[in-house]
């Protein structure tokens, strides 16, 4: 058998059962491939042991880029390239540059972060998702366990662990 092809799925109806099930399954030594949910379940990423997302850092860096670009652009255009005499006022009035600087900071932070999110999560219009169970976008939580990755543990043992953790259904899923 090949890895990443053969799965056993535990289907859960309730988010709280799922949360404790994730802990139980991991404690029994079974490695979870991924959990698919119709809505965000708070604490699930923690129970699965995922590292905190670093997207906020991406947002900050893109925001910083926006601030720098905006200030550079305004100083260059207003003070160096073509200084305009507007009622004898300062060519580089910093307070007047704040609104555009703020807007560009927000714009780049938002767009940059969202771009990183889409790329890192492989979200694109032509993406063909691998769906384990269609009900995972409706009303069921689906826990996928890779059989080959867990080959040290027998399939029956995995099924037993899933059952005792509160799974309402246990299915097999094989991808071509």
Q: Classify residue 134 by its DSSP letter.
A: G
Among 1, 2, 82, 85, binds another protein (CB under 8 A): 82
Q: What is the DSSP letter of 135?
A: G
Query: What would the DSSP string read from start to end of 65-110?
Result: HHHHHHHHHHHIIIIII----STT--SS-HHHHHHHHHHHHHHHHH
99 lies in the site for another protein, by CB under 8 A = yes
- Whole-angstrom distance, CA of residue 98 vs CA of residue 79: 15
By CB under 8 A, residue 84 contacts another protein: yes
145: helix, strand or coil: strand
The mark string for 14-53 relative to another protein (x by CB under 8 A, - otherwise) is xxx-----------------xxxxxxxxx-xx--x-x--x
Stretch that binds another protein, among 1-9, 86-94, 146-154, 159-167 (CB under 8 A): 86-94
Residue (102 or 160) nearer to another protein, CB: 102
Closest distance to another protein from the beta carbon of 49 (Å): 11
Residue 120's φ and ψ, nearest 5 degrees, are -70, -30
Would you count residue 120 as binding another protein (CB under 8 A)? yes
Number of residues counted as binding another protein (CB under 8 A): 63
Q: Which of 55, 61, 64, 159 binds another protein (CB under 8 A)?
A: 55
36-42: long-range contacts, CB 8 A cutoff, minimum separation 24: 36/132, 36/133, 36/136, 36/141, 36/142, 36/144, 37/136, 37/141, 37/142, 38/136, 38/137, 38/138, 38/139, 38/140, 38/141, 41/15, 41/141
Least gap, CB of 154 to another protein (angstroms):
26
Q: Which residues bind another protein (CB under 8 A)?
A: 14-16, 34-42, 44-45, 48, 50, 53, 55-56, 59, 73-74, 77-78, 81-82, 84, 86, 89, 93, 96-97, 99-100, 102-104, 106-107, 109-111, 113-114, 117-118, 120-131, 134, 136-139
């Amino acid at each position: 058998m090949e890895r990443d092809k053969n799965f056993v799925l535990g289907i859960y109806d309730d988010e709280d059962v799922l949360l404790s099930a994730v802990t139980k399954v991991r404690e029994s030594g079974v490695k979870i491939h991924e959990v698919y949910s119709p809505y965000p379940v708070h604490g699930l990423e923690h129970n699965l042991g995922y590292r905190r997302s670093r997207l906020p850092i991406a947002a900050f860096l893109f925001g910083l880029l926006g601030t720098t670009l905006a200030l550079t652009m305004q100083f260059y255009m207003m003070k160096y390239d073509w200084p305009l005499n507007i009622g004898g006022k300062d060519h580089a009035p910093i307070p007047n540059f704040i609104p555009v600087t703020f807007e560009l900071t927000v714009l780049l932070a938002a767009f940059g972060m969202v771009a990183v999110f889409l790329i890192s999560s492989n979200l694109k219009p032509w993406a063909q998702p691998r769906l384990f169970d269609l009900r995972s976008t409706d009303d069921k939580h689906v826990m996928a366990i890779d059989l080959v990755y867990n080959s040290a543990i027998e399939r029956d043992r995995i099924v037993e662990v899933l059952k005792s953790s509160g799974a309402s259904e246990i299915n097999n899923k094989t991808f071509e």
